[in-house]
Structure 1
Amino acid sequence: MKYVFLASIFILTNLIQVLGQNKVALDYADKISAKRIKQDVYKLSSDLMEGRETGKKGQKLAAQYIYKQFTDAKLQNNSEKFDSLGYFQKFIIYKQKSDQAIIISNGKKLKNSNDLLISGLKDYSNDSLEFIFLGTAPLESYQNKNFKNKAILFLTSNLYAGAIKSNDIVNSSGAKLVLFCDPNESGQFSRLHSIKKHQSSRRLKLEPKGRKIKNPYDSITANQFYENFKNRISTYQGAISITAASKLLNVKSKNLRKAHAKKKTIKNQNESKYIKFNYELKYDQIPTENVIALLTGTDKKDEFIVVSAHYDHVGRNGAEIFNGANDNASGTATILELARTFQKASKNGHANRRSILFVAFTGEEKGLLGSRYFVDNTNIAMNKIKANLNIDMLGRKDHNHSTNNYVYLLGASHLNPKLKIISDSINQLTEQLILDYKYDSPQNYLYMASDQASFVKKNVPAIFYFNGLHKDYHKTSDTADKLDYNSIKKVTQLVFLTAWQLANQN
């Protein structure tokens, strides 16, 4: 407690020196405009932007709008130039187009989406995969058995329950391929086919083959998770139609139904068989881009504060447009106003010691893809990024508050506890918002739900500014007329003064 008190006194004294003596920072904070923020929100969340889905036309239009605001404010790109291409960090993401699976047995070919509904996470091929039929698969048929690098087929009266049992078989026996079949075909196979097709069409990745785990928080739990993950990504599971199962087993469908009803085995099915199995993922490449502007510092210009927000949203569904005013046109508009205000101060002779990067991320709604790409591919060493201030969803009120005069801060107490002291101290000097630390814990699921998570995983201290969830979240009703722009202005002032402090402290 003594240390925290002394640290608070030191930081508050420093704040008074940085923000108080000449009042420059406070004067510029007062110039932040709710009107300009509102104009940007309305533009970014207009129907013209079509919901800003990653890789779609609306996202491209939004990127161009952000770029124009940066250049109109006379900010340079990341290379300290005004070259238009340099403002865009372009990269490719991969949308799963299809997964092709083929099983060949006794000269008969079974195909995914017709006979099979197999899913996996990377390519695999085996010309001689041992195949075992488990019948109705009682526990004793697979528990404590070693089915590693083998294919399994079992019968079930419910394909949804079969999917759960399939996981049990994988975890218990290490099977490579698990197929499950409803001999009575109650219509679930066709419904699962529709679900699988929909899921595949919306799946996006940074890497087309497999997944990578980098810089885990806790090496013990991460290693345990990684071992499980390696097993998972090399396993293939899915439903198989009764017709296909009959071909695979070389028995009549009616005999399968009888065997399942009476829970009996089928003659000659205990003999070892071998099948040819091939699984291949197909992807479409989707180009997208982060939009980045730079304000170069003075004597510490090789160190950086990153101020960020994601500008993508979830797009449209036919004629319905998910405008995403709160999520996250509000945060994007905030970083645009911050960029203008910092540039105006710098132009008037009040440049900051550290450089400030203003980054509008794409792909947040698809799994933080833009920020993940940035931290893995930026030319700036991670230890040179001293903090990330990330803004996501401002201007609305959640059920925990009766006023708009608040903001949640997530991460302020984690990698650099001084961020909380700085935030509290600045808040005492300005509008005195209610700073809510309810979710300020690495254990809270919201803590890793926005782009600051990508920086935290690289051990970069970060604050996530957030007004909470509400009834219009991810709905077409998230529109610009429902935002409190004076509330957004107050949070913008808090972020501005925090960034100013971090950019100028020793």
Structure 2
Amino acid sequence: MRIVFFVLCLLCSFNTRAQSTPPTVINNEGISRVFAETIIPERLRRHLMILAGDGMEGRETGTAGLKKAAEYIKGRLENYHIAPFGKKDSLGIPSYFQPFVFHKEAWGKRSIHINNTSLTTADYAADLATNAHLPSLNVDEVLFLGYGIDDASYSDYAGVETKGKVIVILEGEPRKNGEFFISPTKAASDWSHNDLRKYDTALKHGVKLVLVIKDTLSLFPVPGSGWKLGEGVHPEGKMANNFQITHQTAQLLLGKKYKKLQRYQRKIAKKGKPKHFSVPVAMKVVMPVKRKILKGANLLAIVEGSDPKLKNEYIFISAHYDHLGKRGTDVYNGADDNGSGSSALIEIAHAFAQAKESGNGPKRSLVFMWMAGEEKGLLGSRYYVHAPLVPLKNTVADINIDMIGRVDETHAGNPNYIYVIGADRLSTDLDKIVKSANSHTKLLLDYKYNAADDPNRFYYRSDHYNFAKNNIPSVFFFNGTHEDYHRPTDTVDKINFDKMAKIGKLTFYTAWEIANRPDRLKVDVLGRN
């Protein structure tokens, strides 16, 4: 009773103080409750009214709206004196941001016509990574230019005007009796293995398009519609457009002059001297390329652990702060998805920061991470595990909150529930801790969507999964979908802030126990990830 009375007194005194003044407590069983109780509906509402307001324009990754949201979160963290944990500058000083870049590329509708014959993909092959956008090119002449090599010991370009031309070249490099002219040994030079060098050389000589005759066409991967890490190759200004053709296609292109090509190939091999000739053709090439670049940034803040050894172990608490942006005049505010989790994470971070300021900080370090790009395919978390700011082996767990402010149809009339996904997929310790933490919040823990055969596959659809893929115990707290999911009607007026606060507290208690227990969580479950 004395502990309970002490805690209640602290709570009352805290509510009369300024936000930045933490309660002063001593180490006892009531500490976690003192700080969990600072996560209150009024503050959550204040954050969400801004993050899910029309001024944020739906917070789509890559837009000004998301940058505004990031600046708001950053401002709250600074106000709460929570240290940045993002990318370091040239002086080694961390910021709150971890910028990332992704790209997406795809062919448009391609077509190649030669002398009134339409080619199929069995006749040619083209690589997206080496071709710039080519909406349409009409060709009335092609130039056979040997092997397309420009080397000190052998040059197909010497004395030949190639600016604005379409050239046809042979693969590899010339050789006689097994010995290459350029080496000059039995070992092939880089010209045999590096087609990019030929395309780069062609561009330097003003060539518009390179056609490489191949014995076997390369099978370039068909690009998916998903985003890829980095900015991509972007061949514009780096290499000439190009595609490979079969010998049959070369015969169609050159007609009777194809035999001349074969004859010249033998002469080059015999004497090591370049040969070239031109052929009139009627060819039209359409090779449109669609490329997109997406830039975003994760936000990270840290409350460093108090234990000299355990502070080098990190518990992540995560929430994505992006949404769908605008579609025409409609703003997709994303109040529940995931303004709710983003707002709760601000106050969870604040609670831990106050615990530390009062001298009762967690033993392990807590990293609070707002991720962008979730709606584009979990991009922010995908980038983070690709370029982690602390070794993944030192990351103990991820607690992910995504959509925690609404009630789904299954639980209509009973908002005191939460779906628990993934807690037991890697670690029985984590699942036990979630259940223990719930003794404070007394929510119904619904494991429906944790089932391996869940047709919704929610386990794979939020940012915790990129941690779980790296064998890091992870749990996803989720209120389920509703009629406003991914619609402009997902607005603040429909949010249950009492429910949000309870799930925020459950998250806090779960992280608190993981951070302060003597032993690290064990990864002791196989085959369920």
- Range class of TM-score, shorter chain: 0.5 to 0.7
How many residues align structurally?
358
Question: Hey, what does 2:83 align to over in structure 1?
Answer: 76
Q: Distance in 1 between matches of 2:168 and 2:28?
A: 76
When Rg is computed on C-alpha atoms for both structures, the one with the higher figure is 2
Question: Hey, what does 2:229 align to over in structure 1?
Answer: 206
Show structure 2 runs of 5+ residues with no match. Answer: 1-25, 133-166, 170-216, 234-251, 254-282, 519-529
Task: State how 1:108-147 maps to structure 2 within 5 Å.
Answer: none
Question: Hey, what does 1:441 align to over in structure 2?
Answer: 451
Deviation at 1:392, TM superposition (A): 0.2
Question: Hey, what does 1:411 align to over in structure 2?
Answer: 422
Which among 458, 461, 484 is matched to residue 472 of structure 1?
A: 484
Which among 87, 102, 107 is matched to residue 93 of structure 1?
A: 102
**Are 1:352 and 1:503, in contact at CA under 8 Å, matched by a contact in 2?**
yes
Q: Is 2:436 aligned against 1:425?
A: yes
Deviation at 1:397, TM superposition (A): 1.0
Deviation at 1:395, TM superposition (A): 1.4
Deviation at 1:109, TM superposition (A): 8.5
SS in 1 for 2:423: coil
Which among 402, 408, 412 is matched to residue 398 of structure 1?
A: 408
Report the residue type matching 1:409 in the other structure. Answer: V
Which structure has greater helix proportion? 1
Decide whether aligned partners of structure 1 residues 324 and 175 sit closer, same or farther in structure 2, where only a CA change above 3 A counts: same
Deviation at 1:438, TM superposition (A): 0.7
Q: Distance in 2 between matches of 1:21 and 1:68?
A: 33
Q: How does the TM-score come out when normalised to structure 2?
A: 0.61
Deviation at 1:28, TM superposition (A): 1.2
Report the residue type matching 1:86 in the other structure. Answer: S
Q: Distance in 1 between matches of 2:116 and 2:511?
A: 68
Question: Hey, what does 1:59 align to over in structure 2?
Answer: 66
Deviation at 1:59, TM superposition (A): 0.5
Question: Hey, what does 1:364 align to over in structure 2?
Answer: 374
Which among 32, 36, 46 is matched to residue 29 of structure 1?
A: 36
**Are 1:391 and 1:465, in contact at CA under 8 Å, matched by a contact in 2?**
yes
Which among 63, 80, 103 is matched to residue 112 of structure 2?
A: 103
Deviation at 1:26, TM superposition (A): 1.2
Q: How does the TM-score come out when normalised to structure 1?
A: 0.63
Which among 285, 292, 305 is matched to residue 293 of structure 2?
A: 285
Which among 482, 486, 498 is matched to residue 494 of structure 2?
A: 482
Report the residue type matching 1:35 in the other structure. Answer: E
Report the residue type matching 1:57 in the other structure. Answer: A
Q: Distance in 2 between matches of 1:308 and 1:119?
A: 41
SS in 2 for 1:465: strand
Question: Hey, what does 1:272 align to over in structure 2?
Answer: none
SS in 2 for 1:283: strand
SS in 2 for 1:439: helix
Which among 312, 321, 330 is matched to residue 320 of structure 1?
A: 330
- The root-mean-square deviation of aligned C-alpha atoms, in Å, is 3.9
Query: Aligned residues: percent identity?
Result: 36
Task: State how 1:328-407 maps to structure 2 within 5 Å.
Answer: 328-402=338-412, 403-407=414-418
Q: Distance in 2 between matches of 1:366 and 1:396?
A: 23
Q: Is 2:501 aligned against 1:492?
A: no
Q: Distance in 1 between matches of 2:392 and 2:27?
A: 31
Report the residue type matching 1:376 in the other structure. Answer: H
Deviation at 1:483, TM superposition (A): 0.7
Task: State how 1:249-328 maps to structure 2 within 5 Å.
Answer: 281-299=289-307, 300-328=310-338
Question: Hey, what does 1:502 align to over in structure 2?
Answer: 514
Question: Hey, what does 1:38 align to over in structure 2?
Answer: 45
Question: Hey, what does 1:137 align to over in structure 2?
Answer: none
**Are 1:442 and 1:448, in contact at CA under 8 Å, matched by a contact in 2?**
no
**Are 2:231 and 2:293, in contact at CA under 8 Å, matched by a contact in 1?**
no
Report the residue type matching 2:507 in the other structure. Answer: V
Decide whether aligned partners of structure 1 residues 92 and 29 sit closer, same or farther in structure 2, where only a CA change above 3 A counts: same
Q: Distance in 2 between matches of 1:347 and 1:123?
A: 55
Q: Distance in 1 between matches of 2:339 and 2:111?
A: 45
Decide whether aligned partners of structure 1 residues 57 and 105 sit closer, same or farther in structure 2, where only a CA change above 3 A counts: same
Question: Hey, what does 1:145 align to over in structure 2?
Answer: none
Structure with larger RCO (C-alpha < 8 A, sep 6+): 1
Deviation at 1:312, TM superposition (A): 0.3
Question: Hey, what does 2:212 align to over in structure 1?
Answer: none
**Are 2:87 and 2:389, in contact at CA under 8 Å, matched by a contact in 1?**
no
Show structure 1 runs of 5+ residues with no match. Answer: 1-18, 112-117, 129-173, 178-198, 211-246, 249-274
Decide whether aligned partners of structure 1 residues 462 and 101 sit closer, same or farther in structure 2, where only a CA change above 3 A counts: same
